[in-house]
A and B are shown apart, each in its own frame.
Chain A
Amino acid sequence: MTTLYDAIVVGGGVNGCGVARDLAMRGLEVLLVEKGDFSMGTSWASSGMIHGGLRYLMSDVHTTYKSCKDAGYIRSIAPHLTFRIPFLMPVLDDEGLKGRVNLEGADALFELYDRFQPYKGGKAHIRFSPEEVARIEPLIAKNLVGAVITDEWGIDVPRLCVLNALDAKRHGASLASWTRVTELIREGGSIAGIRTLDELTGEAGESRARLVVNCGGPWAPELARMAGARIRLRPAKGVHLILDRRISNNGIIAQALDGRQVFVIPHENVSMIGTTDDDFFGDPDDIPILEDEVKYLLEAMERVIPGIRNARVIKAIAGIRPTLFERAKYEDDLTRDHRVYDHEVLDGVRGFVSLAGGKLAAYRVMAEETADLVCRKLGCKNSCATHLQPLPGGEEIPDVEELATRYGQDPYAVSRLIFRQGARAVQVLDMMKEKPETGVYVCSCDPVTEAELRFAIRNEAVRRPIDLISRCRIGEGPCQGHGCLTRAAEIFGEERRLSSSEIRREALWMMREKWRWRKEILGGAQLVQEELTRMVHRSLLEREEGR
């Protein structure tokens, strides 16, 4: 007999994972379905910032207040996953009087923003002289009027998605990644469930629910169409360039050719340059990165960081913002607001609800609003608790030095482990203590041990080796998986008793996926790495003999 779920959430990005967690915590029977791995669409390609909505300060103080408050909640439920990003806005003196006015304006704006900082544990802004800027960030151009700095938070988004999904599971939800929705089951004027295709086994499936929640992001309009309902987005492409290391300690803002603001931010152990914002009418499953976009970003940053072209770009990522439809506006001016669609009211389709638009920083409150509507429809009276209970591992952050000493492990590796696993880091370290051979680093770009991989494979809803990229951040360093992907596939294969041909297939799949995001930026040292990677894996590149 098939389970009748209360709700099926379609889409395993940060919204879908957040909604699933919220509904599960309110005691509903939930199924979360994602066609790839969790976070593999827009969430994965975001800037990874939970900012407080500085840009809305002039037009909509209430949004800033809400954003800051929610950023504070996210901080408190996943303290291990977040990191402080001070944001530096240098003002160049080649802008003449305008530059000076800009500096005063930014100073005033940041001062207003200071009032909201306490909600998210942020610090007050500071104004710097050119000399002070040169001391803090020596890479910045010398022709400055000055700079102001304010405080924001960064987060590991793929892990945020995964932790939301895992917490949903802890509260009784079922997770189905690598499961594509092929059809919505309609009964009368109502959506009664989904038909699915398991991308791994090729099996067709069917799940029934009282209500289906569409959290498809850029794919949401397509799913709505399948339901006979309508969502109108104005999708925009955003591209980031990822550098091999942190080139600055602060986020640094620069003005692009068209007057837009772009930035370089430290993100975990790398830096990110972003982002573009352009209408995109293509297929969200196949997002090209264009020469113009790469050059646009580098040109913009070069004014503020003259040596930026010497930096090593290790990959470029692109995602589609599922922004709500508006006409006669530039992409940047499109609202970052979200909308919860009750299709019963809008289109006469019962049992179908959608969430669209919004931004990463608001994921939790968006999920709450969506869950509220779902609960109203299903007659569930329980209220939201997602801002009160920590995500897995967020209960407390262990002390790096103490754990490193106690387990005799490298402090840096332990700090990275704690960043990802929080309080659960101890379980991984225990495994390394029991079986020292699992303490070997599989990936040395971001020291990841075999024990951490095995822990993720056993506990973190991993269905195939590529899922380990978002769980443990393997293959994200300068070598882009040259050293670790085949090893990760082998370890996965050992845990799940795969045959060598299955392991090989999975390894090749990972190599292919990684390749897509570096093929447009191969240059300098990355081209050298590519020759090495292809030489070493040349036997993997060959066609399967005898086939």
Chain B
Amino acid sequence: MSERHIIVIGGGLSGVMAALSSKSAGCRVTLIRGGLGRTALGNGLVRLAGIVRVTGSSRYLPLMKSVKEMLRGNPEHPFLRLEIAESEAYAARDLFVKIVNDGYFVENADADLLPSWFANEIGNLEAAHFAPLSTARFHRESRESVGVVGFSGYRRFHAEYLAESWTRHAEKLRLPVTFAPVSISFDKDGKPFRKPAETARALEKENELSRLTEMLRKALENVEVNRLVFPPVLGMDGSLAKELEKRLNLPVGEAAGARESLAGLRLIWLLEAFLIAEGVEIVSGTAREPEMDSGAIRSVETASGKEENRRLEADAFVLATGKFLGGGIRSVEGRFVEPLFSLPVFSEGRRIEDDFIGKLTRNDFSAPQAFERVGLRADLYGRPVAEGGGVCYPNLFAAGQVIGGFDPNREGAEGVDLISGYLAGKRAGETDHA
């Protein structure tokens, strides 16, 4: 019997999880990836579930409790529809840990896993379960005084403002952390750096890094701090954090990015390295024009515009194309479509087609919005279903943000990516689904 072949469409967090779990199930795996999506544009922080505060206190719920809380009011959440067992959630987490081990903070995901706090560029402390190693993390216990390093002219990162803002947030969260500004005039021949990548590349040059180190040594003579937070520009891969730590003899970290961040790209690079090491074939381009045979999907064509188009056959397919950012769900002339397989799109369990977007939005910007929950609906194996609940294609599985029914920003987008990706890959690798 020949090896089972799985095609994963989408190279973000969920697609990579699916590819690797199919791979570990012993399948041959091809991953088709297009442009940058939500994972690449994000700030690298991973939330496994919504962050839920204990009523009447500043404490947050442990992971499993907050998952239960989150699911109680939402029967459409993929965690429920996929009937995820705890053991599967842990297996997904273990796989992610294996992938990012060298680059991420990883804690034991036992039932008490509490989110950690990370300072972000907008001036908030953002809770997450995992974060890049270079991102500064603040504990509930260790008393710290953190120096906030701002380069004058690097206007996205204003030390005085951020120090004040983070300190205020830390007080609210009862974290024993205080922040103090450390402003230096680090620029490029009198002109400010404009973009994170430009700054990060400059710092990778030894002369720039030593210039920065010297400035900091001087600036730190008058400030009493036991940790430093930088703009998220410490090298393209974040590794300069370690280097600066050595030179300054102080723990050094980056703030989580917000408006333009390298952290998402760094995560993509980690994922890519692991895919290559595991022997997953990567095809760059978009998937299109699927061919069906007796109700199942047989092949898709890949188009990159550079190489010749290829038609790839497989036994099963995982759709991990994301929501709007990834292009997995589109709104074309007011109609919601899944562009590759023309799968039906749902909102809150109801099929939508040419619904006026105004009916899926609410006036209050901060309120939960129905349009954010738009996506495919899956059966318990993760297979997209039609309106009546019947499976669209027996060998097509969905993963990540393309699945609807949850609010990505409030209900743990990355948690859905990890777990639904892991399950989609695993189930695509199995031969029989009753």
Contact = CB atoms under 8 A, between A and B. Distances in A.
A270 B122 CA distance: 29
Contacts of A504: 123-124, 165
Interface string A514-547: 0110011111100110111011111111101110
A22 interface: no
B153 A440 contact: yes
B306 interface: no
B218 interface: no
B123 to A, nearest CB: 6
Contacts of A440: 153, 155, 192, 194
A44 to B, nearest CB: 18
Contacts of B331: 522-524, 527
A534 B372 contact: yes
A439 B259 CA distance: 19
B366 A501 contact: no
Contact of B409 (A439, A441, A528, A541): A541
Most-contacted residue by chain B among A527, A531, A534, A537 (CB, 10 A): A531
B169 A512 contact: no
B98 to A, nearest CB: 26
Interface string B319-361: 0000111010011111000000000000000000000111001
A483 interface: yes
A539 B124 contact: yes
A519 B357 contact: yes
A6 interface: no
A541 B155 CA distance: 23
Contact of B325 (A482, A521, A531): A531
A500 B161 contact: yes
A536 B258 contact: yes
Nearest to A491: B155
Contacts of A544: 172
A503 interface: yes
Most-contacted residue by chain B among A289, A499, A515 (CB, 10 A): A515
B172 A536 contact: no
A149 B372 CA distance: 45
B90 to A, nearest CB: 26
B58 interface: yes
Contact of B161 (A439, A442, A482, A494): A494
Nearest to A501: B168
B164 interface: yes
A493 B162 CA distance: 12
A546 B172 contact: yes
Nearest to A309: B333
A527 B126 contact: no
A490 interface: yes
A512 B153 contact: no
B151 to A, nearest CB: 10
Contacts of B120: 539
Contacts of B327: 528
Contacts of B2: none
A86 B410 CA distance: 49
Contacts of A538: 126, 409
A265 B429 CA distance: 56
A538 B118 CA distance: 14
Contact of A536 (B165, B259, B366): B259
Nearest to A536: B258
A472 to B, nearest CB: 16
B53 interface: yes
Contacts of A516: 363, 365
B191 A436 contact: yes
B158 interface: yes
B389 interface: no
A256 interface: no
A414 B369 CA distance: 40
B42 interface: yes
B273 to A, nearest CB: 24
B38 interface: yes
Contact of B357 (A436, A523, A535, A542): A523
A508 interface: yes
Given A440-B153, A524-B331, A546-B172, A532 B122 contact: no
A503 B153 contact: no
Contacts of A487: 155-156
Given A512-B366, A516-B363, A522-B331, A532 B371 contact: no
Contact of A437 (B38, B192, B413): B192
A534 B374 CA distance: 15
Given A437-B192, A536-B258, A519 B165 contact: no
B371 A437 contact: no
A530 B360 CA distance: 13
Contacts of A521: 357
Interface in B177-207: 187, 190-192, 194
Contact of A530 (B53, B161, B191, B324): B324
Contact of A490 (B161, B325, B334, B361): B161
B221 interface: no
A483 B259 contact: yes
A486 interface: yes
Contacts of A290: 358
Contacts of A152: none
B400 interface: no
A450 interface: yes
A39 to B, nearest CB: 22
Contact of B158 (A289, A494, A527, A540): A494
A187 interface: no
Given A436-B153, A504-B123, A534-B372, A493 B358 contact: no
A134 B258 CA distance: 45
B409 to A, nearest CB: 4
Nearest to B371: A522
A511 interface: yes
A416 to B, nearest CB: 18
Interface string B115-139: 0000010111010000000000000
Given A437-B152, A524-B330, 16 more contacts: A503-B123, A504-B165, A511-B365, A512-B365, A522-B331, A524-B331, A528-B324, A528-B325, A530-B371, A534-B408, A535-B41, A537-B122, A537-B258, A539-B120, A541-B365, A546-B173
Interface of A: 289-291, 294, 309, 436-437, 439-442, 450, 482-483, 486-487, 490, 493-494, 499-501, 503-504, 508, 511-512, 515-516, 519-524, 527-528, 530-532, 534-542, 544-546
13 contacts: A436-B192, A494-B158, A503-B161, A519-B362, A524-B331, A527-B324, A527-B357, A531-B324, A531-B325, A534-B408, A535-B413, A536-B41, A546-B172
Q: Which 5 A-B pairs have the closest CB atoms?
A: A500-B165, A437-B153, A515-B365, A539-B124, A546-B172
